[in-house]
Structure 1
């Protein structure tokens, strides 16, 4: 396949680019800057995707079969909320428009932040647990709002161009050998801990890549959203007990066992045949090399 990967020198984007290039696909990586070297079967192009002309030229000239869209500001607190929202929405609009005009299907990284809890001024409980893809979306911040708008743009692109778009909603992405999430384990005290808007969920970057691959291979009709989370929380404690201790309550509808994630991945399992394969228990110290081209 001819693939385009945006955000190709970023965290998940770089892992995805190296993976698909290693499978023999022809991959063009797009980011604000080129890396020092190109891996086999991949080339890089420096482009600002918030500029329509650059985005359209970069994508349309390659006539891609699919676009994997990872580009954007990945969280609140990196820049202003306004810049986060405008950067993410503008770049996503341009990428989706170009992909649609090229007749290319899209898989992109949305976020669990569109539900509103992760970056809320006061973290709040979901309507029910585990959270599935149908849960109401109530973002209060620029990042979550940008992902909510991005999924509306995905639906619009499907209607206008008759391509498919898969919106992957990962939780906090972790990297083998450097799991920042587990730094909180030793110091965690449910009596004094602040509420976590993603309820201590996470996902290994390799599982993000594998669900993107599963979505790319699936026969998706229109726009569909899928959760991407590890099966467990990263605290090694019963999830419902921790939530109740920290938040002082639980939703009336709560069906969680042990340390299972507060987010359901049942839809991805049923429709994509995907399951998370990695847990912090092995991966936090796992000696896995990241994308080699970033070191070149």
Structure 2
């Protein structure tokens, strides 16, 4: 397939580019700057996708079978809330519109932050546990709101152009040899712990890559969101017990068992045949590695 991958030099985007190139696909990798190295099977382009003309040229000129959109500001705290919102919404609008006009399906990086808890001024309990794709979305910040608007743009693109869009909602992405959740776990004290808006969940970047691959292969009709989260929390403790101790309560509906993640991946398992394969228990001890085209 011919694929356009945005955010090609970013954390998850670079792994996605590397994976699909290794699978023999024809990949166009787009980011604000080209990487220092090259990769067989990949054409790297520098483009600011918040500019409509550049975004449309990148996609329309290459006429891809699918667009994998991972460009944007990846979390709150990197830029102002206003810049984060405007950048993410503008790039999503331009990319989705261009993809729709050329008839390309889209897989893109949404986030679990659109539920509202992760970056809330005071993280709050969900309506039920585990959280699934149908849970109400109540973001209070520019980042989570940008992802909520992005999913509305995805639905609009489906209605107008008849393409499919898969919105991947990852939790906190970790990388082999670089697992900051290890420090979080080491410093965790149940008696003094702050509320965690993502309820101590995470996902390995390789599982993000595999769910994108699964979505690309699946027959998706319309717009569908999918949570991408590891099976367990990163604390090595019972999830419900920790939430109750830190938040002071649990939702009336809570079916969590042991260290099961607070976010459900049942939909991705059932519709995409995907399940997370990596755990902090093994990944934290792995040697650091990543796509070689990022190296000088």
Bin for the TM-score computed over the shorter chain = over 0.9
Please give the alpha-carbon distance, in whole angstroms, between the structure 1 residues aligned to 2:165 and 2:139: 22
Q: Secondary structure at the match of 1:236?
A: coil
Q: Contact 2:178/2:288 (CA < 8 Å) preserved in 1?
A: no
Please give the alpha-carbon distance, in whole angstroms, between the structure 1 residues aligned to 2:141 and 2:13: 24
What's the offset of the Cα at 1:186?
A: 1.5
What corresponds to 1:92 in structure 2? 92
What corresponds to 2:28 in structure 1? 28
What's the offset of the Cα at 1:289?
A: 2.1
What corresponds to 1:229 in structure 2? 229
Q: Contact 2:6/2:69 (CA < 8 Å) preserved in 1?
A: yes
Please give the alpha-carbon distance, in whole angstroms, between the structure 2 residues aligned to 1:284 and 1:249: 31
What corresponds to 1:19 in structure 2? 19
What's the offset of the Cα at 1:288?
A: 5.3
Q: Contact 1:164/1:220 (CA < 8 Å) preserved in 2?
A: yes
**1:3 partnered with 2:20:** no
What's the offset of the Cα at 1:264?
A: 0.3
**Structure 1: tracts of 5 or more residues without a match:** none
Q: Secondary structure at the match of 2:28?
A: strand
What corresponds to 1:144 in structure 2? 144
**1:127 partnered with 2:127:** yes
What's the offset of the Cα at 1:37?
A: 2.0
What corresponds to 1:103 in structure 2? 103
Please give the alpha-carbon distance, in whole angstroms, between the structure 1 residues aligned to 2:183 and 2:10: 22
Please give the alpha-carbon distance, in whole angstroms, between the structure 1 residues aligned to 2:288 and 2:16: 15
Deviations 1:15-48 (A, max 9, x none): 0000000111000000000012220100100000
**Structure 2: tracts of 5 or more residues without a match:** none
What corresponds to 1:279 in structure 2? 279
What corresponds to 2:45 in structure 1? 45
Deviations 1:190-235 (A, max 9, x none): 1100000000000000000000000000000000000000000000
Q: Contact 2:227/2:268 (CA < 8 Å) preserved in 1?
A: yes
Please give the alpha-carbon distance, in whole angstroms, between the structure 2 residues aligned to 1:278 and 1:111: 19
Q: Secondary structure at the match of 1:183?
A: helix
TM-score of the pair, normalised by structure 1: 0.99
What's the offset of the Cα at 1:287?
A: 2.1
Deviations 1:229-253 (A, max 9, x none): 0000000000000000100000000
TM-score of the pair, normalised by structure 2: 0.99
Query: Where do residues 60-79 of structure 1 align in structure 2 (5 Å cutoff)?
Result: 60-79=60-79
Deviations 1:28-73 (A, max 9, x none): 0000000122201001000000000000001100010000000000
Aligned residues: 296
What corresponds to 1:59 in structure 2? 59
Please give the alpha-carbon distance, in whole angstroms, between the structure 2 residues aligned to 1:253 and 1:189: 26
Please give the alpha-carbon distance, in whole angstroms, between the structure 2 residues aligned to 1:29 and 1:240: 41
**1:154 partnered with 2:154:** yes
What corresponds to 1:294 in structure 2? 294
Please give the alpha-carbon distance, in whole angstroms, between the structure 2 residues aligned to 1:190 and 1:74: 29
Q: Contact 1:178/1:285 (CA < 8 Å) preserved in 2?
A: no
Aligned CA RMSD, in angstroms, stands at: 0.6
Please give the alpha-carbon distance, in whole angstroms, between the structure 2 residues aligned to 1:85 and 1:11: 20
Please give the alpha-carbon distance, in whole angstroms, between the structure 2 residues aligned to 1:289 and 1:39: 16
Q: Contact 1:21/1:40 (CA < 8 Å) preserved in 2?
A: yes
What corresponds to 2:246 in structure 1? 246
Q: Which 4+ runs in 1 deviate beyond 2 A?
A: none
